[in-house]
Each structure stands twice: as structure tokens, then as C-alpha cells.
Structure 1
């Protein structure tokens, strides 16, 4: 009987301490949102997310409660529930197995001994600073050279090269797209209407895809579009890089890039038509 009391007493004390200490540290020194489940505790090499602590609590808390109840039953201060010994014993051993697994597989022993714990607790609870570097700061060579947006070529559906310089001196509506791109396809009807309204008013259009000519030709025929489409057999120059499609750029007759937009839009509204008219000087 004495050994049984000692066993359950140890389980109750240890499980109670673990729950109080870890949840206390999570409240005081944890960071992140409780509501969204992103709260976590990081102390030196120790990292405990709140969801993992919650799962561990589902094992440790019943072991604590049943161990206390078992102790009270041994002392004659609890109801004679015949299933209590088995339940409390099972939860106690389950908690011990969990503790053993954590100690063996999830405890950074070498880090624990090398860590300056005074420094760790001094910084505990403060937001972690992100270590920054300058690897992505790619400054241009000086002195700066003017950018020639027309120094590349596209190809028509028959494979003939079309220098972008052929659009120089005109207002240019340049659009990067693809047949598989649903946002591209969504804006196509409005683009066709814009093309019909502005093609004879000094505005040049170029719709550039990186797909095969047969794919683009079949799509245009099936949908009934008459847009001037071209193929980019090579990746456009870096200064023409886009982060997604559809991507639209508008160039003034003097070659300046005056507008760029990534994403689908309604292009046939008076707002766009008036802007193109201002660039061309044709109402």
C-alpha cells in the first residue's frame, strides 16, 4: 500500500508541476495569438507550440486528477469506484510514457547545457528580431543608363519576328497573358472591346503569350477574338519582368512606361479610353 501511495503521489506532484510551469510560462513568456492557435513558447533551445502543449495536457491532466482521486480513495476519502484503480494506473503510465518520449526524442540536451539561461530569461517574452541581410539588394550599375523598352522582339503566329521597336512612336497597350490563365480569359472580352474602339485612334496593341502558336491560334479562333497576338520565344528582358499574369503595360509615344497593372480588369470603360486618348492626342 505504501508503494502505491508513493507512486500516485509522485505522479500527482510531477504532473501538477508540469502543467503549472508550462502553462504559466506560455502565459507569461509566450508569443502569438491564443485565438488563432499561433501562441508558442520559445526559451533558448526549447520550443513548445500551444497546440502541442494542449495535446500533452489531454494526457497529463487526467493523470493528475485520477492520481489525486486514487490517493483520496486509498485514504478512504473518496467513493469506492471500482474502476478508479485501473483508470488511474493506465493514465499514470501513459503520462510517464509521454514524458519518456519527450525526454528522449524532443529534448535538445546539448543546447540546454550550452545556453546562457540568464540571457534567455532576460529576453523572454520580447518579440524576436528577424536577422536581415543585404543579399537581395541588387543595386544597378552607375551611372544609370536609359532603359529602352523596345530592345527585344516577339513573333507572330506564323513565326515571323516582330521587333518591339516597330511600335515606337505609338501609344502601346502591351498585355502578357496565357490561354490557361482564367483571369486572362475573364478580361479578354473587355480587351477586345477596347481594341475595337481604339485601334484606329493611334493606339497599338500587342498581346504576348509564351505558349505554342497552335495553342494560341486555336483559342483565338474558338473564342472569336481578333486581337493581335504574339509569342515570346524567350523570356522578356529583366526590365519587362512581371510577377504574374495577366500583366498590362501602357507606353507613351515617346517610349516612356506610363502605366502597369497586374491582374484582370475591365479595360473598355471610359476611364481607360480617356487615358489612351490623352496619350495619343486623339479623343
Structure 2
């Protein structure tokens, strides 16, 4: 039933109910019910029908209104994402491409600087790839309903393997059905950020991804461990650590615990449901 049909029903039902009652009582019930009694019964009957039928219609109307508001909000978010993607493409991506061209020109003019120039070019290439990936994600946000959630996670980990060449060991204990849709989305984003941090800064040869159940029935922990270069200082003292900062904000919003720590030769990034909040520790020299 459409929004417009619901509004018309809400308007018409009390009037039709009252009309039917008046016809029935005048045509058939006058010998049994006095005029005064009939006048008292009229509002009571209309009230009874209203409570019986219209409350359900009001609930459906509210649900339709909520769905409409959600669709409008989603449309606004998509428009904002498209605008940001366009600005990234027209601004940063184009500037990076131009800088790469100028670097090639510098290499031709200064052959003796080949090593340094190649390092700059490699850095530019990585930044440019990251920007292009960000533009793609903004324009085509990943939909967890397009694939089973665990399959989406597996593909994310496989992409990380191919990009880094690191050995990745995965332990996955938490059933998908025990998570809400919101938790799946936020966990997916968190894992992506953890893997990106390891990929950019860890120089790791071994990585472990663990999603394990906690002691309580509804508790769990998501950990990413790597044997990379380790920690040097608090990540949130550096302006470049926006990725982990977003994870911290996301964890606070979801009321999850968030921790970054050093465990022997391993660096551990962890979020958990039913855990304590993050306390500043050490992290990599450069984050992102």
C-alpha cells in the first residue's frame, strides 16, 4: 500500500464508519435503540473502529515515512561522496599525475639522481594508487549485501596477500549470524583499515588475522598481528594517522574496545566487543 493510499484511508475510514452506523441504526435499530442512546453510541463506535484499524495504518504510515527519510539520507550521502570523489579526481589526482610527469623530466635532466628520483616516483605511484582507490570506493561503495559477508572478508584478505606477498594466517571463529548488519559494515571497514596500515608501514613478512569469540556469549575480538618494524610513538600524536584515528572514533561510536600494542615480536591492532576503551600506546612512525 502506498503512502498516498494510507493517507486517504486514514481520512475516509472514520467518515464511512459513521455513515454506515447512522444508516443501520435508522433503518433497522430504531425500534430497539433510542435516539439518545444512538447518539451516545456513535462516537464510541467510531472510536472503536479508529483504535482497531487506524492505529495499524498509522504504524504503517510511520514505517513508510522512516523508509522515505532513510532513502533521502542515503541519496544525500551518495551525492556528498560523488562530490568528494570529483574533487579528489580534479584536484589531488591530477596534481599527482602532473608531479609524476615533472619527476620524469627531472630524471632526464639529472641522470645522476636516478636512485632518488625512482624513490620519489615509487612514492608518487603508491599515493596516486591510494587516491584512485579512494575515488573508486567513494563512487562505488562496497555493498556487503552483494556477497556473503565472510566471502567479502576473504576477498579483502586475498587482495592484501597479492599486494604485499606476505604470508597470512586466518582464524575465523565468530559466525556471521551472530553479528548485526551495522557490526558487519563497521568490522569490514576496521579490518580494511588495519590491513592498509600493515601494507603501508609494517614491512611485514607474516600477518595473522584472528576473529575469535570472547568469554561472554556476545563478545568477540578482531585482531591483526604482524611481524613488521614495530612501534615508535603514540599514533595519535601524528597528523598523518587519520586511518587509525577513524578506527578509534568508529570503535567509540560502536562502544567497542580498541587497542594497539606490542606483543613480543608482533604488532597487534585489535577491536573487541565487551572490551575496555583505547589507551595511548606506541605505533608506527608513519600511519595513514
The interval holding the TM-score normalised by the smaller chain is under 0.3
Q: Specify which structure has the bigger relative contact order, considering alpha-carbon pairs within 8 angstroms and separated by 6 or more residues.
A: 1
Q: TM-score, normalized by length of structure 2?
A: 0.20
TM-score by length of 1: 0.21
Larger relative helix fraction: 2
